Amino acid sequence: MLADQQFLRIPGPSPIPPSVQLAMGKPMIGHRDQEAKSLIKQLKPRLNPIFGTKEDVLILTGSGTAALEMAVVNSVEPGDEVLVLVSGSFGDRFTKICQAYGIHVHRLDTKWGEAINPKDVKTYIQAHPNLKGVFATYCETSTGVLNPVKELAAVVRNHSDALIIVDGVSCVGAVPVEMDNWGIDILVTGSQKAFMLPAGLAFIAASERAWNRIEENNTPRFYLDLKRYRDNIKNDTTPFTPALSLLFGLEQVLRLLETEGLENVFARHRLMMQMTRSAFKAHHIELLTPDEAASPTVTAVKPTDFKAEAFRKILNEEFKVSIAGGQHQLKGEIFRIGHMGYCSPADVLQTISLIEIALIRIGKTVELGKGIEAAQKTYLA
C-alpha cells in the first residue's frame, strides 16, 4: 500500500474535505480584529438550521466533552437530582461529569445496543419528582444507537419540570434535529464528526427555559460559563481566544452543507447506513443494533465466528482502513464503521469490498461480492 494512504472509517474524527483543508490554511488574523468579528457574524445564523433553533448557537474552543461539561455545570448545581439515560459509553460519561460536580445522579440504563425506551423514562421521572435535569445521548457512538430524543424530550417536558439536555456530538449535522420544536433545552455537538473538521470546536445552544435556569445557577465556573459566551456572541466575538483556523474551515463546511442541502445530507447518511447494514446482513454477520434503533452515522457489528480485533488488524495492515473497536464491556466483541461527514456511497462500496477480502484473510468463508451486491441494490432501490 502507499505509505501515506489512509482510509478513515471510524466514528470520529472523520475525514476532512480538501476544500476545508485549504480553508484552514488561510493566513492568521487577529482574533479581536474586525475581520474576525465579521467571520463570526456571518457564521452565527448559518448554524441555526443545523440545530433547528432560533436561539444563538455558541462556539467553544474545546472538545465535545468540554461542551458536555459546560452543559452540566451551567444547568444544574451540586446536590441537585438528575437522571442520566445510559445506553453506552457516552451516556456513562455524562454520569461521570455530573458526579464530578457533586450532583445526585440517578441512572436509567438500557442494554448496550438498544435504544432508551420513552415509556421507561416516563415511569422513572414520575417516581422521582425532584429531578432538575435529564441527560440523554442522541447518537450513542459506542453502540451505533440513535436514541429517540424527540420522544424523550416530549416525555420529560410533559411529566416534569426538569431540563432535557442532549449530547448530539456524533450525529448533529448528519441527522434531523429540531431543538425548538422538540423541546430540547440544551444541545451540544463537536467539530470532528459530521462537521468534517478536526477536533477543537464545540457548539452549544440553550432554550429560553434553560437560560432562566442558567441565570439562577450559582455553580462557580469561568472558561465554561455559558453566560460569557452568550454575551460575547451578541457582539460577534468569543470570551476567550477562538480557534481561528477551525473557524475558517467551518465557513467552508457550512458552504458545503448549504450547497448539498440539509435534507440531502440527511438522506445521504441514511443511505450509507442502509448500504452498510445490508452488506453485513447478506453475509449473515450479526449487527449489534436493530434496524429501528440504528444510527445513520455509525454501524456496530457483533461477529460470532471470528475475532473483531483480528479482523480490524488485517484490514488496517493490508489496506490502511481504520475502523473502530468496542469500548468497555464491548471491547473485543464488536467493531464499528463510521459513515459520516465527508463520506459518500462510493466510499461505502469501497469499504465493503475491502472488508470482504479481510474476512477471507482471517478465515471466514464468504462469497466475494455478495455484500457489494446487496449494498448496490440498496443504493439503486
- pLDDT per residue as tens digits for the range 314-373: 999 999 999 999 999 999 999 999 999 999 999 999 999 999 999 999 999 999 999 999
d(CA 148, CA 293): 8
The SS3 assignment for 235 reads coil
Q: Which fold has domain 7-14+261-380?
A: Aspartate Aminotransferase, domain 1 (3.90.1150)
What is the b/e burial string over 345-376, where b = at least 16 CB atoms within 10 angstroms of the residue's CB? bebbbbbbbbbbebbeeeeeebeeeebbebbb
d(CA 136, CA 18): 34
CATH of segment(s) 18-258: 3.40.640.10
**pLDDT surpasses 90 at 3:** no
Mean pLDDT of 169-191: 98
Statement: the pTM of the whole predicted model exceeds 0.95: yes
The predicted pLDDT at position 282 comes to: 98
Q: Do domains 7-14+261-380 and 18-258 have the same CATH topology?
A: no
**pLDDT surpasses 80 at 242:** yes
d(CA 279, CA 235): 50
Q: DSSP assignment of 128-190, as one string?
A: -TTEEEEEEESEETTTTEE--HHHHHHHHHHH-S-EEEEE-TTTBTTB---HHHHT-SEEEEE
Binding residues, by number, are 336
Which triple of cell numbers denotes residue 57?
Answer: 448557537
Bigger pLDDT: 4 vs 147: 147
The SS3 assignment for 26 reads coil
Binding residues for substrate, by number, are 336
Domain boundaries, the chain: 7-14+261-380, 18-258
pLDDT, tens only, 60-117: 999 999 999 999 999 999 999 999 999 999 999 999 999 999 999 999 999 999 999 9
Mean pLDDT of 291-301: 98
Which triple of cell numbers denotes residue 303?
Answer: 461477529
Q: How many CB atoms lie within 10 A of CB 287?
A: 18
pLDDT, tens only, 120-130: 999 999 999 99
**pLDDT band with cut points at 50, 70 and 90 for residue 46:** very high
The predicted pLDDT at position 4 comes to: 85
Q: 234 with 22: CB under 8 angstroms?
A: no
The predicted pLDDT at position 355 comes to: 98
d(CA 353, CA 355): 5
pLDDT, tens only, 253-278: 999 999 999 999 999 999 999 999 99
The predicted pLDDT at position 2 comes to: 82
